[in-house]
């Protein structure tokens, strides 16, 4: 018995397949380039860059700062936020606004820095151009 899908259903199936293919391409680790603002600074406002690399499928996050990479633990990645911790830091990112909070803990004190991130598009794989 041969089954023929109606033309409309076939179009929907092709659309779903293309969306799943695009989603699979996005499922690779992503990199956020962030600029932190030290709100506790004594003189003026200090700004410094960090990068956050996260892999939603693997449930991993890494913090890169000044060439030093930290693999974060207790990672939580949801539709709205992601967070992770290291021995003396906690990182949280809002996925809708790409704002970041970094708290650094020292003996009897904590420093809180806020910032904004952008998705690093140069690390994303490019799609091959179509022949004309």
The label of the residue with tokens 């992503």 reads 30
Task: Tell me how many helices (H) and strands (E) the chain has.
Answer: 1, 9
Looking at the domain that runs over 28-123, which CATH code has it been given?
2.40.160
CB 50 within 8 A of CB 120: no
Q: Which pLDDT value is given to residue 13?
A: 45
pLDDT of residue 100: 95
Closest CA to 98 of 116, 121, 78, 76: 116
Reported as type and span, the H/E element at residue 35 is strand 30-38
pLDDT at position 121 is: 78
pLDDT of residue 23: 45
Q: What is the mean pLDDT of each run of 10 residues along the chain (132 residues)?
A: 53 46 61 85 74 95 94 96 95 95 91 91 53 45
What the block records as the tokens of 91 is 């990182």
- Give the CA-trace dihedral at 31, 35, 36, 38, to 10 degrees: 160
Cα–Cα distance for residue pair 115/103, rounded to 1 Å: 11
For the full predicted model, state whether its pTM sits above 0.75: no
């Amino acid at each position: 018995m041969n089954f023929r899908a109606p033309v409309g259903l076939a179009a929907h199936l092709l659309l779903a397949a293309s969306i799943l293919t695009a989603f699979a391409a996005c499922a690779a680790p992503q990199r956020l380039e962030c600029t932190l603002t030290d709100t506790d600074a004594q003189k003026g406002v200090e700004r410094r860059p960090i990068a956050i690399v996260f892999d939603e499928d693997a449930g991993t996050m890494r913090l890169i700062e000044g060439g030093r990479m930290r693999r974060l633990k207790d990672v939580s990645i949801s539709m709205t936020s992601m967070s992770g911790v290291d021995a003396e830091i906690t990182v949280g990112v809002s996925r809708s606004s790409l704002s970041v909070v970094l708290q650094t803990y020292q003996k009897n004190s904590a420093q809180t820095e806020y910032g904004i991130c952008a998705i690093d598009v140069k690390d994303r794989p490019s799609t091959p151009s179509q022949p004309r």
